[in-house]
Amino acid sequence: MTFTLFPDTRLTLARDALAGLSVGDALGSQFFVPGRRPDDLAAGRLPAPPWEWTDDTEMACSVVAELAAGARIDRDRLALAFAQRCEPYRGYGPGAVRVLRLIRTGTPWPVAAASAFDGQGSCGNGAAMRVAPLGAWHADSTRRAAEQARASAEVTHAHPEGVAGAVAVAVAASLAARARLDGGRPEPARLLSAVAGALDPAGEVHQGVRRAATLLGRPAAEAADALGNGSRVTAQDTVPFTLWVAATLLHDYPAAIRVCVEAGGDVDTTAAIVGGIVAAYTGVGGRGGVPQDWLTAREPLPGWVTTPA
């Protein structure tokens, strides 16, 4: 079935995904503060606000601002936006800090991105962490979501696995948003198989997503053990588990975020990825959606994304 998706609807879907991504990021990063325990969240005890967001949200805001302004990713503009808006204290990965500094000082992004990690390019989870709103924007086409995710990734992540992580998350968010419009929840195994189908079968992210499908129905701790919880900060070690969580708990944002917090590892980023995909389906407020009090506790998003000039 094909249908027309009006720009306002695309923007609403992308903004809901951004709300879920930023709340996941901001709440997840609270659990790096000494003394915070995942049990508190399970018992309904929330950290004191404000929950400050990190690089995941800062970069996702640039992706959404680009879409709102031009409906498609212009790689030169996106690279510059990432570089100019980077506040290094937000917790950027070391490779990203360097690549963005090079771009800011005039190095073309293809050269800067290719130079990371001794010329391998970054396979960090940074391209995946910022892309769910782009997938939601493309609720009408997983093909377009994949193609645009690739464009958004390669300005900083030249390694094929870093790009594959972004493609996987964008396709999942596209399917989640599409399911919201259609009014039916995708079966977890079908969601994972559609994501795997968009990836190079020789890649590690692809293999991880296939493995995630074999772990559906198993306890979350077992899935995190087998798939990784992001503690290596790479796409391969992060994306398969986040897709397992999103596919399993697509209807329940708070539960999905709690699973990320309990799994440990790169919690702000696993919760940002999962939160972005799940909120593309659940929306904000309402049953299973991003809770209003969590949204209020999150540090406000930058003015340039909430009220563009």
| Residue 161 contact partner, candidates ligand R7I, Mg ion, none, CB within 5 to 8 A by sort of partner | none
Between 32 and 304, name the residue whose CB sits nearer to Mg ion: 32
Round to whole Å and give the CA distance between 175 and 255. Answer: 20
DSSP per-residue letters across 196-258: HHTS-TTSHHHHHHHHHHHTTTS-HHHHHHHH--STT-BHHHHHHHHHHHHHHTTT-HHHHHH
Question: Is 120 an interacting residue with respect to ligand R7I (CB under 6 A)?
Answer: yes
Task: Tell me the window of 2-10, 15-23, 106-114, 116-124 that interacts with ligand R7I (CB under 6 A).
Answer: 116-124
Between 55 and 237, name the residue whose CB sits nearer to Mg ion: 55
Long-range contacts of 81-86 (CB under 8 A, 24+ apart): 82/155, 82/156, 85/58, 85/61, 85/302, 85/304, 86/55, 86/58
Binding mask 254-293 for Mg ion (x = CB under 5 A): --------------x-------------------------
In degrees and rounded to multiples of 5, residue 284 shows phi and psi of -110, 140
Task: Tell me the window of 67-75, 88-96, 136-144, 280-288 that interacts with Mg ion (CB under 5 A).
Answer: 88-96
Question: Is 124 an interacting residue with respect to ligand R7I (CB under 6 A)?
Answer: yes
Residue of 10, 26, 53, 54 that binds ligand R7I (CB under 6 A)? 54
Between 54 and 152, name the residue whose CB sits nearer to Mg ion: 54
| Residue 234 contact partner, candidates ligand R7I, Mg ion, none, CB within 5 to 8 A by sort of partner | ligand R7I
| Helix-, strand-, coil-residue percentages of the chain, each rounded to 5 | 70, 0, 30
- In the complex, the residues that contact Mg ion under the rule CB under 5 A are 54-56, 91, 268
